[in-house]
Structure 1
Amino acid sequence: MRRAVSVLAAACVLGLTATACSDSTAGAGGAAPQGSVDPTASLKGVKLTMWVAQNSVAEPKQVISAFEKATGATVSTQVIPDPYESNVPTKLASGDKPDLMFWQPTGSTLPFVQPAKNLLRLDNEDWVSKLGKTEQSLGQVDGHRYAAIVTSPAVLGVYYNKDVFRKAGITTMPTGYDAMLADAAKIKAKTGVAPFFEVGGDKWPLQWQVQAQMTDLPPSFWDNLNKNKDSWTDKTIVDAITKYKTKILDGGLAQKDYRTATFVDQGKAIMDGSAAMALNVTSLQSEIQATSSTAEMDSKLGWFPIANSSANAEYSPDQTNGVVAFNTGDTKRENAARQFLSYWLGKDYPAYIKAGKLVSVEPSVPNPDGLPQTAVAQAKALPTATGVFQVKALTAPDMHLALADMIYGKKTPIEVAQAAEDQFKQVLKARAVPGF
């Protein structure tokens, strides 16, 4: 999903049993076979099923068609209704299993499908070494790989309207969050244009202003948080939420309708110059691409990375980045699923990313021609990007929902942080994680 948030947290607590949410190691998935896979070996008569979300139906079409033609296999996609991240675990808990599935390849979300019990281990597959450094770090739980990384994780940064920046006299990009706020004040004073476009109507993008400010939290914080020795109410996080509220929302640096504006509105505003900046992930680029040509985007939009005290980006995986294969007990189908992944990330990968106009996850495979400059800039920023909290925390609380309450005066910044803390603990307790 374009929301890099784990709505699973709520699903586990509200809809599933603790057992369904635990990551049992009983019945561990088979280890990856040694040796290389022949990606085009005949699979005539073999039928595979792949679960996809409503917004990822089209994602695997090219590779499925090519694989079926090359091997004689049949790969059928089955759409799991939204919310995908909570309906999938419920379906698995009922005993239903596909052969393959799109799934967010993070430590906060992989556990919800009980990888050690349900998924094939992919530690030794022939495509693992081809992945980029950031991509190699994804898709693992407890030291084992369970997900193939087929697309680059979304990158969080700032889309800006070039014309508005020009009118404001901004020629060098800010190198930290406070410097960006100073530029925002200059934009408002010199142009009258809303410096930021915020999306209270769809809620999920509300988290990004806070996430960008959380980048100076040390690795030790996340280690301690995941052991229940630290808290989401840490001063750094509360201060980040407070700064977002006081400086941007209450401080007049967002457009007037920030409480109700939508994600689609954000794309339009940043393109037509009625707002100067939008802090969001790659899905905003995809949204704009649906109605604008690459030439139009390149002429109007720029992009820069931002962190609290540096010009670095953040990366935020979603379900279209990762593909998992299931331990079905049918060796023939399991091997065919491995072969499909080998074909996807091997022989077919250049054609796949060309068809989808996607950034490559393999350094040896160049990006296709015709990508917008915003995409090229994001690809360049990815190797030095840091993971968002969905990557670092054992489970990802729905902070955006608490922030949505905050913009209507229903929660204070400390109450937003406390809501994240309460949900975090509740889910990990349900998963029987030690320390909770």
Structure 2
Amino acid sequence: MKKRFSAVLALGAVAALTLAGCSDPGSGGDSGSAPAEWPAQDADLSGTTLTIWAAQNSNTVPDSVVAGFEELTGAKVDVVTIPDPYEQSIQTKVATGDKPDLAFWQPTASQLTALNAKTNLQSLDDAPWLDAYTPELRDITGILDDTRYATLITTPAVEGVYYNKQVFADAGITTTPGNWDEFLQVARDLKADGVTPFFDFGGGTPWATQWWVQVQLADAAADGLWDRVNANEETFTDPTIQGAIDTYQGLIEEGLFNENLKTATFEDQGPALLSGDAAMAVQVNSFFGQLQSLADTEELNEKIGFFPISPSGNVGTFIPDQSNALVAFKTGDAKREAGARQLLSYWLGDGYQDFVNAQSTVSLQSDVDSSADVPQALLDVSASLSDSVGSMQALAVANPDLYLNLGDMIQGTKTAVEVAEATQAQFAELAKAIGTPGF
């Protein structure tokens, strides 16, 4: 999965991008300037080379689109892999003036801010494909200060519970939990029967730890939690977030997780769930990619299910990541900028059905069918988006390293209180660096 970049290390890049905004006015496309023209999808681009920056886990995603677009337009499209940590590497390159035509990018407010979107990115307002999105996805993300700078190409990830259907059936569990308390009761019943309820990992980069905290915050997020955090009216050390961290620590101490929690890795998680060595994992869509590498669609439909979870019900927490969306850069070359818009129009236009089929993914568009190879669990993930709430990454103005601090808690080098304190201090530092009022 996408490793979340270190916010502390990214701080210098954020500052550099902010300074760059003072000296580089860019090339139009800001809110307030003339709307961009959208070329026809088949306009001739012979002699034009476009560059797409991609991460190691997204560098093959454009393959079908690139092939079709090059044949249709005569353009050449180069996909360049940027090494991990992807987000930090991109910010550093852009801060020095090195820009592609398009790049995969997490379409959240904090990450668009990190790229100094108004200066560096083209506006995608009035893009011709927007009305083709299913209504609940049209404006779910990609917008900063009322301007659209990113466009989804696949459905945003959702934090929720993947479970082994056979383990549930063997334990006599016939319905999935309807809220957090029922979820924990199922876990305790499974433990009493000798089954490991949850699998998580603390070895290496424990990025999935944060999902355990964030799903507990779904109700609060719907009630404006992240608006209050952004305004410095509520903090990570206040009862809501601190309480979620405390609960996670308590579940670990209760023995509801795999015994090798401290040393387990992401690579261990998929096999554990698929084999039934563990019953459940709180994860996001990219986890299912691992499952798909281990089993075919028929086996996955037989063994793996999904349900969203929140304190009071089954509300998912969405977290779009860099593999879900693209941004188009202001390069100062009008022909290439128009070519980038044209490529996006093709990607979400005539090339979209082939893309969906090639990626075996869920369609974002009402008139384009999802791939027949999509397992039911992923269809259930997509269906949960209609009433989901935003994650910290989606709604907070900055993305502190909560997951690393939680990893330290698992390893015993931070207490739950110290996790909240360290995360709040880092959040405040990042918010101040980007000029957020109140910090």
Deviations 1:36-68 (A, max 9, x none): 531011111111111111111101111011100
Give the structure-1-normalised TM-score: 0.95
2:17 is matched by which residue type in structure 1?
A: A
Q: Distance in 1 between matches of 2:234 and 2:28?
A: 36
Partner of residue 16 from structure 1, selected from 13, 37, 42:
13
1:302-321 equivalence runs, <5 A: 302-321=305-324
Partner of residue 243 from structure 1, selected from 240, 244, 247:
247
Deviations 1:281-326 (A, max 9, x none): 0111111101210011111111111112111211111101111111
Indicate if the aligned counterparts of 2:20 and 2:95 stay in contact, CA closer than 8 A: no
1:204 aligns with 2:207: yes
Match of 1:270 in 2: 273
Q: Distance in 2 between matches of 1:164 and 1:240?
A: 27
1:51 aligns with 2:49: no
Q: 1:120 to 1:35 in 2, by over 3 A?
A: closer
Partner of residue 142 from structure 1, selected from 126, 145, 149:
145
DSSP 3-state at the match of 1:37 = coil
Indicate if the aligned counterparts of 1:23 and 1:112 stay in contact, CA closer than 8 A: no
- When structure 1 is superposed on structure 2, of 125-134 and 416-425 the one drifting more is 125-134
Indicate if the aligned counterparts of 1:22 and 1:112 stay in contact, CA closer than 8 A: no
Q: CA RMSD in A?
A: 1.7
Indicate if the aligned counterparts of 1:23 and 1:111 stay in contact, CA closer than 8 A: no
Q: CA deviation at 1:137?
A: 2.3
Match of 2:161 in 1: 158
Q: Distance in 2 between matches of 1:187 and 1:120?
A: 51
Structure 1 moving runs of 4+ over 6 Å: none
2:370 is matched by which residue type in structure 1?
A: N
Q: Distance in 2 between matches of 1:178 and 1:23?
A: 49
Match of 1:86 in 2: 88
Q: Distance in 2 between matches of 1:51 and 1:307?
A: 35
Match of 1:30 in 2: 28
Q: Distance in 2 between matches of 1:207 and 1:23?
A: 32
Partner of residue 393 from structure 2, selected from 390, 398, 409:
390
DSSP 3-state at the match of 1:137 = coil
Q: 1:300 to 1:433 in 2, by over 3 A?
A: same
DSSP 3-state at the match of 2:54 = strand
Match of 1:2 in 2: 2
Q: 1:144 to 1:29 in 2, by over 3 A?
A: farther
Q: 1:220 to 1:311 in 2, by over 3 A?
A: closer
Q: CA deviation at 1:368?
A: 1.4
Indicate if the aligned counterparts of 1:52 and 1:102 stay in contact, CA closer than 8 A: yes
Indicate if the aligned counterparts of 2:27 and 2:332 stay in contact, CA closer than 8 A: no
Deviations 1:94-119 (A, max 9, x none): 11111111110001111111110011
Q: 1:36 to 1:87 in 2, by over 3 A?
A: closer
Indicate if the aligned counterparts of 1:121 and 1:144 stay in contact, CA closer than 8 A: yes
Match of 1:119 in 2: 121
Indicate if the aligned counterparts of 1:197 and 1:278 stay in contact, CA closer than 8 A: yes
Q: Distance in 2 between matches of 1:392 and 1:112?
A: 14
Q: Distance in 2 between matches of 1:17 and 1:297?
A: 41
Deviations 1:12-42 (A, max 9, x none): 33x4362425694762552374665310111
Q: 1:435 to 1:110 in 2, by over 3 A?
A: same
Indicate if the aligned counterparts of 2:202 and 2:265 stay in contact, CA closer than 8 A: yes
Q: Distance in 1 between matches of 2:20 and 2:246?
A: 35
Q: Distance in 2 between matches of 1:284 and 1:417?
A: 26
Q: Distance in 1 between matches of 2:375 and 2:218?
A: 27
Q: Distance in 2 between matches of 1:17 and 1:257?
A: 37
1:144 is matched by which residue type in structure 2?
A: T
Q: Distance in 1 between matches of 2:284 and 2:177?
A: 18
DSSP 3-state at the match of 1:432 = coil
Give the structure-2-normalised TM-score: 0.94
1:287 aligns with 2:284: no
Match of 1:223 in 2: 227
Indicate if the aligned counterparts of 1:233 and 1:417 stay in contact, CA closer than 8 A: yes
- Gaps in structure 2 of 5+ consecutive residues: none
Q: Distance in 1 between matches of 2:19 and 2:248?
A: 35
Matched residues, number = 431
DSSP 3-state at the match of 2:109 = coil
Q: CA deviation at 1:176?
A: 1.1
DSSP 3-state at the match of 2:342 = helix
Q: 1:38 to 1:266 in 2, by over 3 A?
A: same
Q: 1:104 to 1:17 in 2, by over 3 A?
A: closer
Deviations 1:196-240 (A, max 9, x none): 001112300111111110112154332221122221112011111
Indicate if the aligned counterparts of 1:12 and 1:430 stay in contact, CA closer than 8 A: no
Q: Distance in 2 between matches of 1:221 and 1:270?
A: 32
2:244 is matched by which residue type in structure 1?
A: A
Q: CA deviation at 1:434?
A: 2.5
2:120 is matched by which residue type in structure 1?
A: N
Match of 2:425 in 1: 422
Indicate if the aligned counterparts of 2:271 and 2:294 stay in contact, CA closer than 8 A: no
Indicate if the aligned counterparts of 1:147 and 1:325 stay in contact, CA closer than 8 A: yes
Q: 1:34 to 1:95 in 2, by over 3 A?
A: closer
Q: Distance in 1 between matches of 2:14 and 2:392?
A: 25
Q: CA deviation at 1:425?
A: 0.7
